[in-house]
Amino acid sequence: MQLLASLVLLALLKARSATAAVKEYTLDIVNAPLAPDGFNRVGILANGTFPGPLLTANKGDTVKVTFNNKLTDESMRVSTSIDFDGVLSDTASVYDEGSPFVTQCPFGPNTSYTYTLPLGDQTGSSWYHSQLSLQYADGLRGVFIIYDPEDPLKHLYDVDDESTIWTVADWWHNTSVSGLISYNLTQIIPVQDSGLFQGVGRYQGGPEVPYAVQNVQEGTRYRFRLINISARSDFIFSIDNHTMTVIEVDGTATQPLEVNILDIMPGARYSVVVTANQPVGNYWINAISSGGNPANNLLFNSTLGRGILRYAGAPDAEPTTPMTKGPQGAAANLLQEHELTPLIPNPPPEPDFTLTFTTFMPDKETVWLLNDTQYTPPKVPTLIKILDGANSSADFAQSENTFIFPANKTVEINFLPDPTDELHPFHLHGNRFWVIKSNESDIVNTINPVIRDVAAKGNGGTILRFTTDKPGPWFFHCHIFWHFWAGLGSVMVSDPDGIRQQVRPTEAWDELCPAYNALPPAEQ
């Protein structure tokens, strides 16, 4: 019997290896003009497009992405480092995780770097962006989808392809560098000029840029993959007269849950099934962004963030109905995070370690503190220090806010409620966590809570758990990148001994830090 089981397992492994592929992409990072809301400026773009080119793969594939840094405009950052949000790097290639000064150094102008990402069994909706400073606010962001040919929820939809991938984003007319100067002087994050759906939008008083159109066929069920690639803004999202059935959150398949409006935070991803079951016509897709006081930027009008759902046979025109913010009051069936559960039950282990976290911004200082510490990137990346023998938090400066855990333990992070604090979407690199308690609910779920990699910390208190079964140094930070830039981050190190045993960086990785450190400040 044991021999038969071994033979079956071997056959399955052979079958998987036979279908797996190596997919290779090459992207040029360039300074190029763009005008997503009609205002012309120069940005930082992958292959000259915003959002950047779509990357796709199937479960089990290995993806290699070569980025050629061709940046020249020193009014913005010209070095870069790319993070693949939601892509769970394996330990052997953790050096390609893309976190500057944690897993690698950035790479400068006129150089290239190839990220190798073995995908294993992971699937779902993810994205890529610059992780250096606030550079991705200048445009360096795109989508990465890992398809599952054997998706257990495939019976719920008819269409899931490149035409059904949706992005929402915030956009500024000024560069991120000038925005950071203003933020540092005033403590006020610059309010975006516009909110974008599918890479286009409008600002108050600006040109009437045509809204993005999603074409649908009456009676067809669509899996829309909604991805918030913002640097700051969350979006209240809905489609007039239509419901949405959530079936995935941050790469985790979930039990189907029907809603008609949802709040999607920066870095978060949802798959929703929408059935085109209304009379043929045009319907507003409402993508209402928030973030800051609109009085600080009179160009920003949240109601201008939207797209159009157009049925085959409908006129080529905007909907005639009012631009609203979606269902309100009793008509609103808002997605509640605590109501989401994984499709396959996966109870969280009891915690071995508990961290109690607070977030705080001191008055008159552009500093964000996580447990009284402002995270500051070190000159020597965390991974290098670990490979050189670092074993405890004492081996790192306090400003690195680094926590060390042994292998195969469970860590609980308890964010205390704070009525004076604002919302922070915290993201864990390289892992997913159980959301034991969501910010919007008092319910504590230790049986079958949702599993994701971005969760809100706000005034309600949030409890997360993750396991240290994957060796590596993993960034844990606020995905409002203005807050992250000001210090709202930390590093969770799982199993330093396992890192030293399993990680074997390439020669190209070894050359990153010497090359970066040799650059003049203007090119870093």
Residue among 520, 523, 522, 514 at smallest CA distance from 105: 514
Domains assigned to the chain: 2-152 (2.60.40.420), 162-339 (2.60.40.420), 353-516 (2.60.40.420)
Mean pLDDT of 491-514: 97
Whole-Å CA distances, 7 to 10, 120, 470: 5, 21, 28
Distance between CA atoms of residues 19 and 473, nearest Å? 31
Q: Tens digits of per-residue pLDDT, 66-109? A: 999 999 999 999 999 999 999 998 889 999 999 999 999 999 99
Distance between CA atoms of residues 46 and 384, nearest Å? 28
Whole-Å CA distances, 307 to 172, 214, 280, 282, 319: 19, 8, 17, 10, 10
When the pLDDT of each residue in the chain is averaged and rounded to a whole number, the result is 95
Distance between CA atoms of residues 375 and 6, nearest Å? 48
Measured at the CA of 94, the angle between CA 476 and CA 488, to 5 degrees, comes to 15
- Give the amino acid at 114: T
Mean pLDDT of 492-515: 97
What is the pLDDT, as a whole number, of residue 89? 82
| Residues recorded for the chain | 524
- Give the amino acid at 305: G
Distance between CA atoms of residues 434 and 427, nearest Å? 12
Q: Rounded to the nearest 10 degrees, how much is the dihedral formed by the CA atoms of 233, 238, 240, 242?
A: 160
What is the pLDDT, as a whole number, of residue 422? 83
What is the pLDDT, as a whole number, of residue 90? 83
Distance between CA atoms of residues 84 and 63, nearest Å? 11
- Give the amino acid at 511: E
What is the band of 20 on the pLDDT scale with cuts at 50, 70, 90? confident
Look-up of token digits 């290779």: 24
3-state secondary structure 27-43: EEEEEEEECCCCCCEEE
User: Torsions phi, psi of 2, nearest 5?
Assistant: -65, -40
Mean pLDDT of 292-319: 96
Percent of the chain with pLDDT over 70: 96
Other beta carbons within 10 Å of 33? 10
Residues 6+ apart with CB under 8 A from 340: 246, 249, 254, 255, 257, 450
Strands 221-228 vs 165-171: parallel, antiparallel or unpaired: parallel
Q: Is the dihedral of CA 293, 301, 481, 492 positive or negative?
A: positive
Mean pLDDT of 170-186: 97
Distance between CA atoms of residues 77 and 523, nearest Å? 7
Whole-Å CA distances, 429 to 98, 477, 490: 10, 9, 11
Q: Tens digits of per-residue pLDDT, 38-74? A: 999 999 999 999 999 999 999 999 999 999 999 999 9
Distance between CA atoms of residues 235 and 430, nearest Å? 25
What end-to-end distance do the CA atoms of the chain give, in Å? 60
The half-sphere exposure of 408 on its side-chain side, counting CA atoms within 13 A, is 1
What is the pLDDT, as a whole number, of residue 12? 41
Q: Hey, which residues does 56 pair with through a beta bridge?
A: 145
What is the pLDDT, as a whole number, of residue 469? 96
Residue 415, pLDDT > 50, answer yes
Residue 7, pLDDT > 60, answer no
3-state secondary structure of 193: coil
What is the pLDDT, as a whole number, of residue 326? 97
Q: Tens digits of per-residue pLDDT, 215-248? A: 999 999 999 999 999 999 999 999 999 999 999 9
pTM: 0.95
| 248-252, 384-388, 455-459: least confidently modelled range | 455-459
What is the band of 420 on the pLDDT scale with cuts at 50, 70, 90? confident
Is-contact 132 76, C-beta < 8 A?
Answer: no
What is the band of 292 on the pLDDT scale with cuts at 50, 70, 90? confident
| 93-107, 141-155, 358-372, 459-473: least confidently modelled range | 358-372
Distance between CA atoms of residues 272 and 202, nearest Å? 25
Distance between CA atoms of residues 39 and 143, nearest Å? 23
3-state secondary structure of 21: coil
The residue ranking higher by pLDDT, 5 or 405, is 405
What is the pLDDT, as a whole number, of residue 4? 39
Distance between CA atoms of residues 257 and 244, nearest Å? 8
Residue 339, pLDDT > 90, answer yes
Joined tokens for residue 39: 């205002």
| 311-320, 357-366, 397-406, 495-504: least confidently modelled range | 357-366
3-state secondary structure of 460: coil
What is the pLDDT, as a whole number, of residue 13? 43
Rounded CA Rg of the chain: 22
Q: Is the dihedral of CA 95, 265, 26, 111 positive or negative?
A: negative
What is the band of 392 on the pLDDT scale with cuts at 50, 70, 90? very high
Spatial strand order in the sheet of 124-130: 55-58, 141-147, 124-130, 82-85
3-state secondary structure of 349: coil
Distance between CA atoms of residues 524 and 74, nearest Å? 9
What is the band of 10 on the pLDDT scale with cuts at 50, 70, 90? very low
Burial of 160 (0-12, 13-18, 19+ CB in 10 A): buried
Q: Tens digits of per-residue pLDDT, 101-130? A: 999 999 999 999 999 999 999 999 999 999
Residue among 123, 164, 115 at smallest CA distance from 145: 123
Joined tokens for residue 412: 């609980």
User: Torsions phi, psi of 355, nearest 5?
Assistant: -110, 130
